[in-house]
A and B are shown apart, each in its own frame.
Chain A
Amino acid sequence: MNKTNININTNIKSGTIAEPSLLRVDSLTKWFPLRRGLLAGRKKGPGAYIRAVDGVSFEVKPGQSLGLAGESGSGKTVTAEMLARLQSPTAGTIHFLGEDVTTARSRDLMRFRRQVQMVFQNPYDCLNERWRVYDIVREPLIIHRLGHGNEHLDTCKEMLTVVGLQPAEHYLYRYPHELSGGERQRVAIARALVLRPALLIADEPTTMLDVSVRAGVLNLFRKLQQDLDLSILFISHEFSTISYICDTTAIMYLGKIMEIGPTSQVFSHRYHPYSDALAASLPVVNAEDKRPPARISGEIPGAASIPRGCRFAPRCPYQAPACTAEEPPLLPVDSSHRVACVIWSGETPSSEQRAFQENVLRRQDEEGGAA
């Protein structure tokens, strides 16, 4: 299997930063206007929009994988669809290999599509039921006019083998309804990979699979990262799958990134009270003692009514007056780790906040000691 067939350096326009980024997203925003009925027209003012994604910035380096974690309603799927150019952003930019692709059209868009592919959540929905596996996997090659018929056959066989559908001949001429969920998801991955993209966007690709099958698909993603040097933007509400796949993790809440950093750090240190609450809510298989309840109140509000200041403040156990005054920016806590919380940027933390701070630092020390 060849590595991705693009030379990264030649694609970078002169004058860009030293370390090339595969994907760079700046203040990506998607607001959906709220319509209020036939004659009323569009509502005006701040409540007039559903702020699904509200200014998200991050970067993916070649060969690296980023995880977007968050509850439903956090805007992670809308972000993914904007990156895949399925939805157009309200504001913000997407740079791919140094090139602005936010509004790329025709030729430029096709060039982008060859590099960025996507797999979806529901394996029972992502394949055209009337097509055979061969036609499904081959279609991108036809669209991009790559190779001829007999070459397609070889490429498809190779792709099916890569995704673990062996022998490939056994699958080529079958219809999706003859396949199980795990097999279907592998076909979808083969289709996404047939163009040899540099970036694969995976939107909850394993959530609908059974446990015994899911591990296989997760291992496949790992294999693709290693063998093809593929970057994966992995979207999931599950910490466990993200931590298995991604180098970097961003925790999203109501359309904004709350914390972003190296996966192991994000999950073990948990600088943001929201990350901490999420992790504390996960059931444990082999718990020695009873897990204490997570310190978080209420439920995620709708994206049409985003609270003032820090959007997590109303549910936050460490809330202070400073939290509702102004939205805290995403600030670095160390070289590669950024957090949007006054606990880490504020001047004078409250005693509750200081306790949380100490807790995080203790976890960090323990980890340092263990390693």
Chain B
Amino acid sequence: MASLVTIEDLGVEYRSRGEVLRAAHNVRFFIGEGEAVGLVGESGSGKSTIGKAILRLLPPNGRIVSGRIMYQGRDLAAISPEEMRGLRWSRIAMIFQSSMNSLNPVYRVGDQIIEAIRTHNPGMKRAVALERTCEVLANVGIDPSRHTSYPHQLSGGMRQRVNIAMALALSPPLIIADEPTTALDVVTQDRVLRELKLQQEQRRISMLLVSHDIAVIAENCDRVAVMYAGTIAEFAPTKNIFNNPYHPYTLGLQNAFPDFRSHRALVSIPGFPPTGARSRGCMFVQRCPFAEELCSSETPRPTQVEDDHWVACHFTQRASEFQRLARDPDTWLGRTG
């Protein structure tokens, strides 16, 4: 499968009050054409940072310090801000958790989509843009006649759908969706995600779905990158992540995950996630039940363990042993972070 986006050794730093925080470090993964890739991690793991870095929408105190973001022959990390501005919406669309509230309250939602379309197609007639707007609204399950509604007349779920419609309006090859449904109720979340997924599959759009919710990622993505403390712990097809995980963190997450359909006991990973990346060694070393000396002295490089399956762990050859031990709660107890 040809990859549309390739991220190589990406590093992002934030500076605040004289401190430097490595929010992303040595991040590498790719998004294939027409594929949905999930970026999952806990708060502070840097998952949103990656999304923002691709869009070059990092906050003023953040910057890309290393690596490349290759997209359609261009390095997004190196192009000029003007060039980037031209790419946003038309080549890379975005949906954020906050987009729900980012619609301009004084304009009709249809006009906002038309505006977006015509900015990128200067010659286009308004009627043509309107037709296109109604079409994308219908695609995401909104009655096209609602294009005359103002944002406050729509519910949260509807507004997020309008955002998805806006993202689709210019038929971009890539969509970055950062926690697009986190603020919505379960019923609405499910419906909005279904529409997003359907459009993504039908139009063969590539998507980076950033979420803290493993189940959402599992249902909607072809591949998953598991982030921990600014690094990618494991990157593999979704099936592999859930059936054949190598990284101890991925293994720990599986035990920690409540599911009302099963009755197994939960096991938490001891300790707390660190903020940002350590300078040396494996990021997970303090909480890992299998850690050895090597883990704190040397940073593990991502190793390819199978086709399309990369793991940043020194002991990938012991994966089956880890998998067996990880199922036993005692493995995770007795160590404090």
Contact = CB atoms under 8 A, between A and B. Distances in A.
A313 interface: no
Contact of B214 (A211, A243, A296): A211
Contacts of B43: 210
A212 B254 CA distance: 9
B42 A284 contact: no
Contacts, number: 118
A285 B189 contact: no
Interface in B202-235: 212-216, 218-219
Size bracket, chain A contacts: 35 or more
A304 to B, nearest CB: 14
A218 B266 contact: yes
Given A180-B272, A240-B259, A282-B215, A215 B189 contact: no
Interface stretch (A42-50, A98-106, A149-157, A287-295): A287-295
Interface in B232-263: 242-243, 252-253, 255-261
A215 B42 CA distance: 13
A241 B256 CA distance: 11
B242 A285 contact: yes
B260 A239 contact: yes
A87 interface: no
Contacts of A217: 268
B186 A215 contact: no
Interface in A164-222: 166, 180, 182-183, 210-219
B260 A287 contact: no
A285 B257 contact: yes
A214 B256 contact: yes
B154 to A, nearest CB: 10
B216 A283 contact: yes
Contacts of A291: 219
Given A240-B259, A243-B260, A284-B215, A212 B268 contact: yes
B260 A281 contact: no
Nearest to A267: B260
B190 A212 contact: no
Contacts of B255: 215
A24 B332 CA distance: 40
B219 A281 contact: no
A244 B256 CA distance: 12
Contacts of B157: 299
B80 interface: no
A237 B155 contact: no
Contacts of B260: 239-240, 242-244, 267, 279, 282
A71 B267 CA distance: 27
A221 to B, nearest CB: 11
Contact of B259 (A72, A285, A299): A285
Nearest to A290: B219
A241 B186 contact: no
B58 to A, nearest CB: 23
Given A71-B186, A281-B190, A282-B186, A215 B258 contact: yes
A277 interface: yes
Interface string B105-116: 000000000000
Among B185, B191, B270, the most chain A Cβ lie within 10 Å of the Cβ of B185
B126 interface: no
15 contacts: A71-B186, A212-B287, A213-B268, A215-B255, A215-B256, A215-B267, A243-B258, A244-B258, A282-B186, A283-B213, A285-B218, A287-B218, A287-B219, A293-B190, A299-B188
Interface of B: 42-43, 155-158, 185-191, 193-194, 212-216, 218-219, 242-243, 252-253, 255-261, 265-270, 272-273, 287, 336
